[in-house]
Structure 1
Amino acid sequence: MNPTDLDDALRAQTSASTGQLLLRAARLLDEKALARLAAIPGAPPVRPAHTRLFPHLSFTGVRATTLARRLGVTKQAVAPLLAELVAWGLVEQVPDPADRRATLVRFTHDGLAALTHGLGLLGELEAEITAEVGAERAAVFREVLAVWVKVLSRA
């Protein structure tokens, strides 16, 4: 087989995979939301690498080593991303009360406002998709997707 045929075969295989479709949809949703954010004057230049951190952050805080482990990367890979989020005022680093030698990273109040705004952008995109596919189909998709998350969370 020539490389073009191999690429076509690979595309056919990945298009037939529900998991690959979900990954692609998530990536596209993230890209579109970030493009909308970038169009806002004064918005921080958040990249997909930053948004991958957000589900693992909280107001109680998490250690950078824990973030790195959850993302499957090194602490050194997470450090510059956290430094940018700190510089933008979205997160702060505070001493870990359980171990004063360690620090916790947690959302600031500005970080909560930014996160809420970002979720609003995602909501706008979801509304646009719902308008195209219909409310009933979108609701069924969400229900089925919630089951996928539940099943995969216990696996």
Structure 2
Amino acid sequence: MVRRPDDPECRDERASPAQLLIRCARRIDELALERISTRTRIPIRPSHAALFPHLDLAGTRQTELARRVGVSKQAIHQLVSELEALGVVERVADPSDARATLVRFTNKKGRSLLVLLAEIEREIEQAIGKERMRALHDALARIDAHLDHEEGARAAPRTRARRAD
């Protein structure tokens, strides 16, 4: 007999919220990459796509991208260079610091990728409803803020320890 996930006897067998978040993120990522490939013919790799959620529309410094993604500045430089060659991102002067540059989506190819992501979000909203989508957004934003706070708290002791050297 196959049990439904909402069956009370099946509760211990259900995936945890963290498992579901990771699984859904992976599947959304795969769907986005598939659509990018078929609709735009831009050869985006998963390593390229890993940058997209961390790029602010106004632009993000490469050092901040490296921190957000959790890779070296050299790795980010390589990925940004590849995406720049594909016409997806561009490097522009940072208006707040003449010595720095920002990485942002290009107006044409880069923004077309965002349109595909918005399309996927609309499909999810149709599947779960506007209220649940709004609640999901709010819950994810709170989780993100919480994890940012935790990350900052973990980094603070290391920063103080380095200053003591």
* Matching residue of 2:45: 47
The answer (yes or no) to whether the contact 1:59–1:108 under 8 Å persists in 2 is no
TM superposition shift of 1:58: 3.4
* Fraction of identical pairs, as percent: 42
**TM-score, L = length of structure 2:** 0.67
The structure with higher relative contact order (CA 8 Å, sep 6+) is 1
Task: Give the Cα separation in 2 of the matches to 1:74 and 1:65.
Answer: 8
The answer (yes or no) to whether the contact 1:56–1:67 under 8 Å persists in 2 is yes
* Matching residue of 1:84: 82
Q: Stretches of 4+ moved more than 6 A in 1? A: none
- In structure 2, the CA distance between the partners of 1:77 and 1:32, relative to structure 1 (3 Å rule), is same
Task: Give runs of aligned pairs for residues 69-148 of structure 1, distance below 5 A.
Answer: 69-110=67-108, 111-120=110-119, 122-123=120-121, 125-126=123-124, 130=127, 137-139=128-130, 141-148=132-139
Give the unaligned 5+ runs of structure 1. Answer: 1-12, 131-136
- In structure 2, the CA distance between the partners of 1:154 and 1:46, relative to structure 1 (3 Å rule), is same
TM superposition shift of 1:53: 1.6
Give the unaligned 5+ runs of structure 2. Answer: 1-11, 147-165
Provide the aligned length of Structure 1 versus Structure 2.
134
Task: Give the Cα separation in 2 of the matches to 1:58 and 1:95.
Answer: 15
User: Which piece of structure 1 moves more, 101-110 or 52-61?
Assistant: 52-61
* Matching residue of 1:133: none
- In structure 2, the CA distance between the partners of 1:62 and 1:47, relative to structure 1 (3 Å rule), is same
SS of the residue aligned with 1:104?
A: strand
* Matching residue of 2:163: none
**TM-score, L = length of structure 1:** 0.70
The answer (yes or no) to whether the contact 2:33–2:49 under 8 Å persists in 1 is no
